[in-house]
C-alpha cells in the first residue's frame, strides 16, 4: 500500500524542544519492542526460556541488575551534563547538530534489536533491501536515471568522499591498463589521450571485454601503477578537510591536490578553475577530477555546478576530460526542494506556485536565485555525489552516503572476497564487495528508509523541511544584519559574511571605529568562548554558536574583500593572516515561524548583550 500525504506537518516529526511528542515516541518505540519480543517468543515455541525465574531471583542476578542500573545513572549524568542543547527551538545557532527525525530515531533504535549487518544480504535480508531501496532513492534525488544510478549508505561524508576519489582514480587509470591488456581497444591513442578519455568511453570499452575485466583491473591504479600519471585533483578553497585525508590514503598524494580560489560569495571561481586547467594542459598535466561543493562546511555556500559541468563539456571538445565529484555531504538533501511528486526537476518559474501549494515557505522567501537553482539542477550530470543523511537528512549518526551516476562504474572498484561473497551474485547480495567498508549497521538503513517513507525526497516531503530550515536561517540573517549592541559606551555592530546560499550564517562582531583586525578576531573568539562549552557552559547557556577561522593557508586572500568592507586595511590582513568568524548552521525546524523566531529574537538579543558585557568587563579588568 502506498501511503500519500500532501500536507506534512513537521511538528509531528520531532520529539519537540520540550519533549512535546514523547507520547508518540514511546507508543511507537514500545510497539516495536513488544513486536520484537513477540517475534522471539513465537520462534520455535517448544524451546523453553533459557533465563528462568530462579535465575532472576538469585542474588547475583539482582546484584548484576543493580550494577547495570548504577552504570546507567552515570551514563545519564554524563549525557545530561556534557551534551549540547541543540534541541532548543531558537537558542542554538552553532555546529551542525540538531534535532533529528523522531521516526528515524525510533527505527534506528528498534532495528538495533535485530542487529543486522548489511555487509552481505545473507546476514540481513530485510535491512539490506532497505539499503538498496534507499540507495536508489538518493540516486534518483540527484537526478540520476532510475535504471542506471546507484548509491549506498556509508559511515559518513569523509568515507563517501574517499570512495569518490577511489572511483575517480581507478576509472581514470583503466585506459592505461587497457592499453597493456587489450591494446586493440585503444589503438593509436597517445598517453595524453588515454588520460583524457571520458567516463562514458571507458565504460563502453569495458562493456566489450567482460572476460578481460579482472586482468584490466589488476593493471589499473589499484596495482600501484600509474599513480603519479593521473594528474591533479582540484578542489575549492572551501573544501572539507576530508579531501586531504582522501588524497593521502588513495595514494595520489597531497602534492597533486590543487586548490582554486573562491569568489566574494565563497563559491569556487570558475574562471580561475578554467585558467588552472588550461595551464596544466599546456604542460601535459592531466586533471584527475574536480570537486564542487553543495553546501560548504563553513559557509553553506553553493558552488556553480552548472558552470563546472559546462566547462567539462567545453574542454572535452578540446580533448581535455576531467571527472566531477560533487561534495553535497551537507546540502545534498536540499535538492528535494526542486523535485516534484514524479521525480521531475521543477521549472524555475513554477517554483513559487509549487511552494505556495505545499506550504514550503511561510512567507515569500528571498533565498532562491537562478544561480543556486542551476547549480542544483546540474548535479545530475556528474559522476559521483556525496550526500549525508546525518547532515541535512536529519538522521542520527552515523549515516553518510554516496551516489553513482552509472552503476557500471562499480566495476572499477569492486572486490570479491570469496569467503563472504559469491562472484556474480546480485547486488545487494554482496554490498561489501562494492564499497569501501565491510560490516555495517542494518539499523542505519532502517532509519534512513523510514525517514524517506515518512518524508519523501521531493518538495512535499524533505523539501518542506529544507524550506523550514532555510526560512529560519534567513530570519536569523535579518536579525543579525545591521544590529548594534551598546556596551560600556561602545557600539558593537554585527556583519554577516554573505547573503546565504542555503541555511548557514557566518557573521562577525566589530566595535565601531576599530581598525585593528587582531582586536576584532579576539572579540569574536572570546564571544565564541562565552557562547559555547569553552567558557559559557552548556546546559545553562542562553545562546550558543560556533566559530571558524578563514586563514591564509586555506583561503589565500579570498577573505580580503570582506575584511576590507569592515574598514580594515590590506596591511592589517597581511599582518593577521586570518579572520575569525562566528558560524551558525540553522537547522531548527521550528523558527521558520516568524512568531516563534521573534519570541526567541528578544531572548537571544539579551543573551548576546550579556555576553558582550562580560567580555568587555573582562577587557577593562585586564
Ligand X SMILES: *Cc1c(COP(=O)(O)O)cnc(C)c1O
Residues that bind ligand X (CB under 6 A): 156-158, 161, 240, 242, 293, 297, 327, 329-330, 388, 391, 400
327 or 593, CB closer to ligand X?
A: 327
Residue closest to 85 by CA, chosen among 19, 10, 155, 12: 19
Q: Give me the helices (H) in 359-461, please.
A: 370-377, 442-454
Report in angstroms how near the CB of residue 597 gets to ligand X at its nearest: 25
Nearer to ligand X by C-beta: 395 or 468? 395
Q: Which is nearer to ligand X, 233 or 330 (CB)?
A: 330
CB of 388 to ligand X, least distance (A): 5
- Minimum Å gap between C-beta 368 and ligand X is 20
Closer to ligand X by Cβ: residue 134 or 608: 134
Least separation in angstroms between CB 161 and ligand X? 6
CA–CA distance from 69 to each of 37, 73, 421 (Å)? 21, 6, 42
Beta bridge partners of 507: 496, 582
Residue pair 476/596 in contact (Cβ under 8 Å)? The answer is: no
CB neighbour list of residue 176: distance below 8 Å, 6 or more residues apart? 191, 194, 195, 219, 220, 225, 226, 229
β-strand pairing of 384-386 with 400-404:
antiparallel
CB count within 10 Å of CB 552 equals 15
What is the maximum span of the chain, computed from C-alpha positions, in angstroms?
A: 83
Nearest distance from residue 586's CB to ligand X, in Å? 14
Which residue's Cβ has the minimum distance to ligand X? 157
Stated as kind and residue range, the H or E segment containing 26 is helix 22-42
- Give whichever of 203 and 244 is closer to ligand X, judged by the CB atom: 244
Q: Per the residue annotation, which of 333, 419, 434, 540 is the catalytic one?
A: 419
Q: What is the CA radius of gyration of the chain?
A: 26
- Residue (124 or 242) nearer to ligand X, CB: 242
Decide whether 151 or 400 has the Cβ nearer to ligand X. Answer: 400
CB of 27 to ligand X, least distance (A): 31
Nearest residue (CB) to ligand X, 219 versus 391: 391
List all residues 6 or more positions away from 560 whose beta carbon is below 8 Å from its beta carbon. Answer: 570, 573
Distance between the two ends of the chain, CA-based, in angstroms? 69
Residue 620 main-chain phi, psi, to 5 deg: -65, -35
Q: Which is nearer to ligand X, 293 or 505 (CB)?
A: 293
539 is catalytic: no
Q: Are 380 and 149 within 8 A, CB to CB?
A: no
Smallest distance from ligand X to CB 546, Å: 13
Closest CA relative to residue 443, chosen from 390, 373, 489: 390
Quote the least distance from Cβ 343 to ligand X, whole Å. 25
Strand bridging mode 484-487 / 490-496: antiparallel
Task: Tell me if 177 sits within 8 A of 420, measured CB to CB.
Answer: no
Please state, in angstroms and rounded to a whole number, the distance separating the CA atoms of residues 66 and 610: 45
Query: Which cell numbers in the block locate residue 50?
Result: 533459557
* Residue in 509, 545, 506, 553 with CA at minimum distance from that of residue 529: 545
CA-to-CA distance for 80 and 539, rounded, in angstroms? 8
Per-residue cell: 27? 507508543
Least Å distance, CB 444 to ligand X, is 12
Nearest Cα neighbor of 292 from 383, 373, 202, 231 is 383
320: left (phi over 0), alpha (psi -120 to 50) or beta: beta
Residues labelled catalytic: 419
Amino acid at each position: 500500500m502506498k501511503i500519500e500525504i500532501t500536507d506534512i506537518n513537521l511538528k509531528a516529526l520531532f520529539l519537540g524542544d520540550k519533549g512535546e511528542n514523547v507520547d508518540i515516541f514511546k507508543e511507537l518505540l514500545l510497539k516495536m519492542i513488544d513486536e520484537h519480543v513477540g517475534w522471539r517468543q513465537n520462534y520455535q515455541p517448544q524451546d523453553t526460556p533459557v533465563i528462568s525465574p530462579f535465575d532472576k531471583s538469585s542474588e547475583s542476578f539482582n546484584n548484576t541488575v543493580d550494577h547495570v542500573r548504577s552504570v546507567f545513572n552515570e551514563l545519564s549524568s554524563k549525557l545530561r551534563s556534557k551534551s549540547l542543547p541543540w534541541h532548543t527551538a531558537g537558542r542554538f545557532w552553532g555546529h551542525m547538530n540538531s534535532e533529528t527525525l523522531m521516526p528515524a530515531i525510533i527505527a534506528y533504535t528498534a532495528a538495533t534489536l535485530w542487529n543486522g549487518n548489511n555487509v552481505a544480504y545473507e546476514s540481513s535480508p530485510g535491512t539490506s533491501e532497505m539499503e538498496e531501496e534507499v540507495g536508489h532513492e538518493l540516486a534518483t534525488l540527484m537526478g540520476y536515471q532510475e535504471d542506471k544510478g546507484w548509491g549506498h549508505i556509508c559511515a559518513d561524508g569523509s568515507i563517501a568522499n574517499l570512495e569518490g576519489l577511489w572511483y575517480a582514480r581507478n576509472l581514470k587509470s583503466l585506459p592505461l591498463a587497457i592499453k597493456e591488456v587489450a591494446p586493440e581497444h585503444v589503438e593509436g591513442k597517445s598517453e595524453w589521450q588515454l588520460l583524457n578519455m571520458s567516463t562514458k568511453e571507458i565504460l563502453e570499452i569495458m562493456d566489450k571485454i567482460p572476460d578481460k575485466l579482472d586482468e584490466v583491473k589488476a593493471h589499473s591504479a589499484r596495482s600501484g601503477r600509474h599513480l603519479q600519471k593521473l594528474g591533479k585533483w582540484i578542489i575549492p578553497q572551501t573544501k572539507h578537510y576530508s579531501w586531504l585525508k582522501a588524497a593521502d590514503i588513495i595514494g595520489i598524494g597531497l602534492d597533486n591536490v590543487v586548490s582554486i580560489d573562491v569568489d566574494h560569495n565563497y563559491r569556487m571561481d570558475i574562471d580561475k578553475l578554467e585558467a588552472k586547467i588550461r595551464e596544466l594542459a599546456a604542460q601535459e598535466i592531466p586533471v584527475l577530477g574536480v570537486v564542487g561543493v553543495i553546501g560548504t562546511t563553513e559557509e553553506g555556500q553553493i558552488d556553480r555546478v552548472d558552470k563546472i559541468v559546462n566547462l567539462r563539456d567545453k574542454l572535452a571538445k578540446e580533448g581535455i576530460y576531467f571527472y566531477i565529484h560533487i561534495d553535497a555531504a551537507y546540502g545534498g538533501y536540499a535538492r528535494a526542494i526542486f523535485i516534484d511528486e514524479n521525480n521531475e526537476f521543477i521549472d524555475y518559474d513554477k517554483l513559487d506556485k509549487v511552494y505556495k501549494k505545499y506550504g514550503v515557505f511561510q512567507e515569500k522567501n528571498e533565498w532562491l536565485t537562478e544561480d543556486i537553482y542551476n547549480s542544483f539542477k546540474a548535479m545530475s550530470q556528474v559522476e559521483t555525489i556525496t550526500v549525508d543523511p546525518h547532515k541535512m537528512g536529519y538522521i542520527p549518526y552515523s549515516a553518510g552516503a554516496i551516489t553513482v551516476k552509472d552503476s557500471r562504474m562499480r566495476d572499477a572498484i569492486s572486490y570479491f572476497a570469496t569467503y563472504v561473497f559469491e562472484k556474480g551474485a546480485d547486488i545487494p547480495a554482496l554490498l561489501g564487495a562494492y564499497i569501501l567498508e565491510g560490516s555495517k549497521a542494518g539499523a542505519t538503513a532502517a532509519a534512513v528508509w523510514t525517514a524517506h517513507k515518512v518524508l519523501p525526497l521531493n518538495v512535499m516531503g524533505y523539501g518542506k523541511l529544507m524550506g523550514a530550515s532555510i526560512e529560519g536561517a534567513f530570519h536569523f540573517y535579518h536579525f543579525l544584519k545591521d544590529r548594534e549592541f551598546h556596551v560600556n559606551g561602545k557600539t558593537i555592530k554585527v556583519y554577516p559574511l554573505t547573503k546565504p546560499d542555503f541555511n548557514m550564517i557566518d557573521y562577525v562582531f566589530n566595535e565601531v571605529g576599530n581598525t585593528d583586525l587582531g582586536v576584532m578576531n579576539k572579540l569574536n573568539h572570546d564571544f565564541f568562548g562565552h557562547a559555547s562549552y569553552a567558557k559559557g557552559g552548556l546546559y545553562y547557556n542562553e545562546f550558543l554558536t560556533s566559530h571558524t577561522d578563514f586563514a591564509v593557508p586555506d583561503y589565500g586572500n579570498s577573505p580580503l574583500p570582506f575584511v576590507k568592507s569592515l574598514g580594515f586595511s590590506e596591511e592589517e590582513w597581511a599582518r593577521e593572516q586570518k579572520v575569525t568568524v562566528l558560524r551558525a548552521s540553522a537547522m531548527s525546524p521550528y523558527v521558520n515561524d516568524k512568531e516563534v523566531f521573534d519570541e526567541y529574537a528578544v531572548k537571544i538579543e539579551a543573551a548576546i548583550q550579556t555576553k558582550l558585557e562580560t567580555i568587555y568587563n573582562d577587557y577593562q579588568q585586564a
